[in-house]
Structure 1
Amino acid sequence: MADQLRVVEICAGAGGQSLGLERAGFEHELAVELDTNAIQTLKLNRPGWKIGEGDVADPSVWDPADYQGIDLFAGGVPCPPFTIAGKQLGATDERDLFAWAVKQCREMKPRALLLENVRGLSMNRFTAYRQAVLDELHDMEYIADWKLLQASDFGVSQLRPRFVLVAMHAKDFAYFEWPEPATKKPFTVGELLHDLMAANGWPGANAWRDKANKIAPTIVGGSKKHGGADLGPTRAKAAWAEMGVDGWGIANDAPGPDDPIDFTPKLTWPMVARIQGWDDARYKWEFSGRKTSVYRQIGNAFPPPVAEAVGTAIHKALNPGPKAAPKPLIEDIKPVHDPVYQVLRKATRYMRLEEISQALRHPLDQHTLERHINHLKRDFEIKEKVRGSTTAYRLGEFKAFTGQEIHSRHEAFQTQLPTIS
């Protein structure tokens, strides 16, 4: 299209976000990915793309300085550091690349930043982490906003919340609006998959369609640490069972004419891909690799329809039409997710608990403050100075990897590399 904009995408995976952004009017200057099967999937579908293969934080794979002024810097950085089902190690997880990605904006100076992750990042556990990200972007004169988007609001037949960060400079952000939910409800699993489930002549397909009368639980791609593919934790499997689906694995084929009417089928990976938003019309895509790898590629992806909706909103902001009207911005006010962190960040000296409380808009008691500071220690170095029976505190370094040559991430990442996906 004539108004095509350029994007660099990191942690591109199998291309869910890639395809959505492409449909939104972005042309890929570069896609970077670690997983070899996902790389082959990208090459299979877009053989002309430039693809950086390997650890996205490895300078030998690509140089952010080569892409200064790119229109959009985007990525679906790894979810395990924030996922509710995991340990939520955040900044101390060797897979965490969120803060690193934000840091690259200093070198790349993109017009817009798009990062998506799991709902866990929106929880109280990560208020200070989010604050550090917002402060970093604010220091670079970006205006940023977070939003929890539900995939089902954009036609995806799945309960899949994603926490999305968008940042732009004020002149562009004045035109940005989050995409509105679609007016049409998504198909139920039965409606969506009936033709695939009936493809081999299974006599129970119609009855199964009627039973599978809800949208799907979140598709979980999982990790190489956890063996074969299945449809998620115990609660998700129970939800699948209610819809007549065996969630304990992925089938090679749909059930056939000799399977009983009351048979409980497993899904095939093409069925899972359709649930994730890929289809044969707008979002046609091929996948490379064996069954388990393909399932993981699909399950770990950003659903293409959601990526297209967000990408279209960004495209409109970067390339507003002649009739577009900018919205007023209050640039001097930045969101505060964690006021205790904010007080310590601004402090030029060690502060006692009572001093921290007095600096807050809403003072906190000593016990609550102590608990909050211990909470901060999970992602930040907290320096302490003891004088008699009184302890004073000062905020130290963010533990997250942001590109430091000396960081625990390097050794841990190499050790865990065979199981990182």
Structure 2
Amino acid sequence: MALRQACGQMRVVRNRDGIIVRHLKALEICAGAGGQALGLEQAGFSHALAVELDSWAAKTLRANLGDEVVREGDVADRSVWDPAEYADQIDLVAGGVPCPPFSIAGRQRGANDERDLFAWAVELAGVVHPRALLLENVRGLSAPRFAAYRQHVLDRLEQLGYVADWRLLQASDFDVPQLRPRFVLVALRPEDWPFFSWPAPQPTAETVGSALKEQMSAGGWRHAEEWGRLANRIAPTIVGGSKKHGGADLGPTRAKAAWRELSVDGLGLADAPPGADALPPAVKAPRLTVEMVARLQGWEENDPRHQEWLANLAGGKTARYRQIGNAFPPPVARAVGQAIISALQHKGEGLSVAPRQDLHDGIYRVLSNSKRFLTSERILALAGERLDREGFEKRMAHLAEDFVIEVRKTQSGPAYRISDFKAFTGQAGHARHEYLRSSRSRVS
């Protein structure tokens, strides 16, 4: 469907205060079940398109956003959608691209991971030309291991005409009773950037107990008050999991132990709250329902739109839990979306300055700025770093995960030059195509 037809069918957009605002068009990739979509909608965006691979999540999106704006399939497949059709017509490109390439729980292969879509999403900005870009991922992307990857992203966005910055945001700073750190990238055009500022933290006063006590008591459980006092901290990060790993539970062993300290059985999910005759929490800890997990992810009980979204959640218990567990908390998306809208509308005094660019990998900076082969001694001297041979080789091994490193023997020892970025950016011969073809049933 052409963009103009889809936009013609968009609903009226109201912000959090119910005030009608001008249509700001969002295009969302890897949209999942729509936690980010819901938050952006409440900030004041209307979706021109949402693309999602998982069939259950796509069904949830269609029920909440409308059939006309949802595409189901591989986001990088031109037969699913053509980015060029949306060129110069979108205010915001947003997405939560796959996290395993950067996850601490995984192998952190970065650009060398066939699932990595971060670099592809950056290149998408060069085709669609949105006024703003918003991408979020796991905390692991903020680690020193990915310093060069991050700098490459910033450099590429600058080439495409954007100013960008990263920020680690905690969901608990946006009235969500869960830790859930997410590493967020925002990019804007130079004329809009001075009006952007990251949303100020507003730490939640809620705990797991205060947030869920009413739901826990819905089945008549006599020990809900007692349980609420035991569950007196915010939740650990909820892990939605994937098609590869089991059913619906609250994460790996360490996560389950954290839930146990909150008197929650993390080995699975319940179909309903505890009944009237359920044992005390000290004897048998209750399990959470999907609806309880949604509350801990920022779906608010007193918000009709939030509850409408949950009512349209597609699939059985495991599919519904994965959709919620992998979502970007709507209140966080709403806060960042509102900050972007303020920048696009040039609200405020326009005092923001360009983000600092001196916190990244000095060795990468030297190699990326030189087309010559350089010895380790020369590289370290130009980078202003002091490393022994083992430390230098470790850094080079990290760079080699994300970039092609050429090595040449010289009289002074090995010399190095950096060349291609290994990440998938749409190239026909990339290993991602074979991975997706062979593993389609397990990709989520």
TM range (shorter): over 0.9
* SS, match of residue 306 in structure 1: helix
The answer to whether residue 325 in structure 2 is matched with residue 299 in structure 1 is: yes
Identical positions, percent: 56
The answer to whether residue 293 in structure 2 is matched with residue 272 in structure 1 is: yes
Q: Are the equivalent residues in 2 in contact too, given 1:68–1:109 (CA < 8 A)? A: yes
Aligned position for 2:349: 325
The answer to whether residue 424 in structure 2 is matched with residue 401 in structure 1 is: yes
Q: Are the equivalent residues in 2 in contact too, given 1:24–1:308 (CA < 8 A)? A: yes
- The alignment covers a number of residue pairs equal to 417
Q: Are the equivalent residues in 2 in contact too, given 1:158–1:276 (CA < 8 A)? A: yes
Which of 400, 418, 433 does residue 377 from structure 1 map onto?
400
What is the rounded CA distance, in whole Å, between the counterparts of 1:211 and 1:336 in structure 2? 42
Aligned position for 2:268: 249
* SS, match of residue 393 in structure 1: strand
Structure 1 residue 63, shift from structure 2 partner: 1.2
* SS, match of residue 382 in structure 1: strand
* SS, match of residue 377 in structure 1: helix
Q: Are the equivalent residues in 2 in contact too, given 1:170–1:329 (CA < 8 A)? A: no
User: Deviations along 1:166-214, whole A, 9 cap, x unmatched?
Assistant: 001111011000000126x331111111111111111111111111111
What is the rounded CA distance, in whole Å, between the counterparts of 2:390 and 2:286 in structure 1? 53
The answer to whether residue 27 in structure 2 is matched with residue 19 in structure 1 is: no
> What is the correspondence of 1:5-404 to structure 2 with a 5 Å cutoff?
5-47=24-66, 49-69=68-88, 70-182=90-202, 185-262=204-281, 263-282=284-303, 283-284=306-307, 285-286=309-310, 287-321=313-347, 324-327=348-351, 329-330=353-354, 334-388=357-411, 390-404=413-427
The answer to whether residue 418 in structure 2 is matched with residue 410 in structure 1 is: no
Q: 1:201 to 1:99 in 2, by over 3 A?
A: same
What is the rounded CA distance, in whole Å, between the counterparts of 1:138 and 1:335 in structure 2? 15
* SS, match of residue 170 in structure 1: coil
User: Deviations along 1:248-295, whole A, 9 cap, x unmatched?
Assistant: 001111111121224311101000011101123332222110000100
Structure 1 residue 235, shift from structure 2 partner: 1.7
What is the rounded CA distance, in whole Å, between the counterparts of 2:322 and 2:58 in structure 1? 13
What is the rounded CA distance, in whole Å, between the counterparts of 1:348 and 1:59 in structure 2? 34
Q: Are the equivalent residues in 1 in contact too, given 2:365–2:383 (CA < 8 A)? A: no
Q: Are the equivalent residues in 2 in contact too, given 1:350–1:393 (CA < 8 A)? A: yes
User: Deviations along 1:15-42, whole A, 9 cap, x unmatched?
Assistant: 0000000000111010000000001111
Structure 1: any 5+ residue segments left out of the alignment? Answer: none
What is the rounded CA distance, in whole Å, between the counterparts of 1:297 and 1:173 in structure 2? 33
Structure 1 residue 157, shift from structure 2 partner: 0.5
Q: Are the equivalent residues in 2 in contact too, given 1:3–1:319 (CA < 8 A)? A: no
What is the rounded CA distance, in whole Å, between the counterparts of 1:377 and 1:143 in structure 2? 27
What is the rounded CA distance, in whole Å, between the counterparts of 2:400 and 2:391 in structure 1? 14
Q: 1:47 to 1:210 in 2, by over 3 A?
A: same
Structure 2: any 5+ residue segments left out of the alignment? Answer: 1-19
The alignment yields a C-alpha RMSD, in angstroms, of 1.5
Structure 1 residue 48, shift from structure 2 partner: 5.1
* SS, match of residue 191 in structure 2: helix
Aligned position for 2:14: none
TM-score by length of 2: 0.91
User: Deviations along 1:57-76, whole A, 9 cap, x unmatched?
Assistant: 11111111111121101000
What is the rounded CA distance, in whole Å, between the counterparts of 1:34 and 1:161 in structure 2? 24
Q: Are the equivalent residues in 2 in contact too, given 1:357–1:365 (CA < 8 A)? A: no
TM-score by length of 1: 0.96
Structure 1 residue 8, shift from structure 2 partner: 0.3
Structure 1 residue 363, shift from structure 2 partner: 4.7
Q: Are the equivalent residues in 2 in contact too, given 1:228–1:292 (CA < 8 A)? A: yes
Report the more deviating stretch, 359-368 or 311-320. Answer: 359-368
User: Deviations along 1:300-321, whole A, 9 cap, x unmatched?
Assistant: 0000000000000000000124
Structure 1 residue 106, shift from structure 2 partner: 1.1
One-letter amino acid matched to 1:102: V
Report the more deviating stretch, 346-355 or 107-116. Answer: 346-355
What is the rounded CA distance, in whole Å, between the counterparts of 1:338 and 1:42 in structure 2? 39
What is the rounded CA distance, in whole Å, between the counterparts of 2:372 and 2:232 in structure 1? 60
One-letter amino acid matched to 1:400: A
